[in-house]
């Protein structure tokens, strides 16, 4: 199964991607995580990426194409994958279509802006695994420490109100047009498109996704 997760920053794409990936054994491809790993390598490319991400700007399509192309070629993607954060521009969506990559399901997570701010400013992550926590909604067992490895959690550099403002602007300008694109693909019966109420708690969303995958398996 090939799945795309759409949604503004903080709508819960990464959180639900982890759930789907473990439960349904589908590799989770987060372009945000891939780009942050590139930053950690301190390469020239990493420096360019770091500057754009901290300003809340999108990275160029060409860089994303290189990353995605080499990732989905890997053996574990043979039976499908879960794209979290890609595509994010019409050009990226058309790239997938032109490569004849047949997407089965698009999940669009919807959450109002005031809740997004709360989620973004409280988020903490474990950098090497990408595990996601929240100081209030999903706190680690021990403050500031990853539950599994005992390593420290960090705050993302772009998780502040100013970067979020620019991330939301980019989202509206460049990613929102994808919604129309995928609704049209649904009408053409090329895939299934669902809007998910991301304000529900994580468990409720897990259950909703289970039902939805069950329905898709039957059909």
Binding interface with ligand AP5 (CB under 6 A): 7, 9-15, 31-32, 35, 52-53, 56-59, 64, 85-86, 88, 92, 119, 122-123, 132-134, 137-138, 158, 167, 198, 201-202, 205
Distance in angstroms (rounded) separating the CA atoms of residues 185 and 188: 5
Min dist CB 116 to ligand AP5, Å, is: 8
Output the DSSP codes for 43-74: -HHHHHHHHHHHTTPPPPHHHHHHHHHHHHTS
Contact between 181 and 93 under an 8 Å Cβ cutoff? The reply is: yes
Min dist CB 162 to ligand AP5, Å, is: 13
Min dist CB 76 to ligand AP5, Å, is: 20
Catalytic residue among 36, 119, 123, 131: 123
30 — phi, psi (to 5°)?
A: -105, 115
Distance in angstroms (rounded) separating the CA atoms of residues 92 and 96: 7
- Chain centroid to Cα 168, Å, comes to 14
Instruction: For residue 45, give every residue at least 6 positions away whose Cβ sits within 8 Å of its Cβ, in sequence order, or none.
Output: 38, 63
Whether 36 is catalytic: no
Catalytic residue among 71, 155, 156, 200: 156
Whether 123 is catalytic: yes
Min dist CB 158 to ligand AP5, Å, is: 6
Instruction: Name which of 132 and 145 has its Cβ closer to ligand AP5.
Output: 132
Instruction: For residue 172, give every residue at least 6 positions away whose Cβ sits within 8 Å of its Cβ, in sequence order, or none.
Output: none
Catalytic residue among 88, 97, 155, 174: 88
Whether 119 is catalytic: no
Instruction: Name which of 37 and 57 has its Cβ closer to ligand AP5.
Output: 57
Whether 172 is catalytic: no
Instruction: Name which of 59 and 193 has its Cβ closer to ligand AP5.
Output: 59
Catalytic residue among 13, 18, 36, 119: 13
C-alpha distances out from residue 160 to 39, 54, 112, 121, 186, Å: 18, 10, 17, 6, 35
Min dist CB 82 to ligand AP5, Å, is: 12
The residue at minimum Cβ distance from ligand AP5 is: 32
Distance in angstroms (rounded) separating the CA atoms of residues 198 and 115: 10
Catalytic residues: 13, 88, 123, 156, 167
């Amino acid at each position: 199964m090939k799945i795309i997760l759409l949604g503004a920053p903080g709508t819960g794409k990464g959180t639900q991607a982890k759930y789907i990936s473990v439960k349904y054994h589908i590799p989770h491809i987060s372009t945000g995580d891939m780009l942050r790993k590139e930053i950690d390598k301190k390469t020239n490319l990493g420096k360019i990426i770091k500057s754009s991400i901290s300003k809340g700007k999108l990275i160029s399509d060409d860089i994303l194409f290189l990353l995605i192309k080499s990732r989905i070629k890997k053996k574990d993607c043979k039976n499908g994958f879960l794209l979290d954060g890609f595509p994010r521009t019409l050009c990226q969506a058309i790239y997938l279509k032109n490569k004849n990559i047949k997407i089965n399901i698009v999940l669009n997570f919807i959450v109002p802006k005031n809740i997004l701010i709360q989620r973004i400013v409280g988020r903490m992550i474990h950098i090497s695994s990408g595990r996601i926590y929240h100081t209030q909604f999903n706190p680690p067992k021990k403050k500031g420490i990853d539950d599994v490895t005992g390593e420290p959690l960090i705050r993302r550099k772009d998780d502040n109100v100013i970067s979020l403002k620019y991330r939301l602007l980019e989202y509206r300008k460049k990613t929102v047009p994808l919604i129309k694109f995928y609704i049209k693909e649904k009408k053409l019966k090329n895939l299934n498109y669902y809007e998910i109420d991301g304000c529900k708690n994580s468990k409720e969303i897990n259950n909703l996704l289970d039902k939805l995958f069950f329905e898709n398996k039957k059909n």
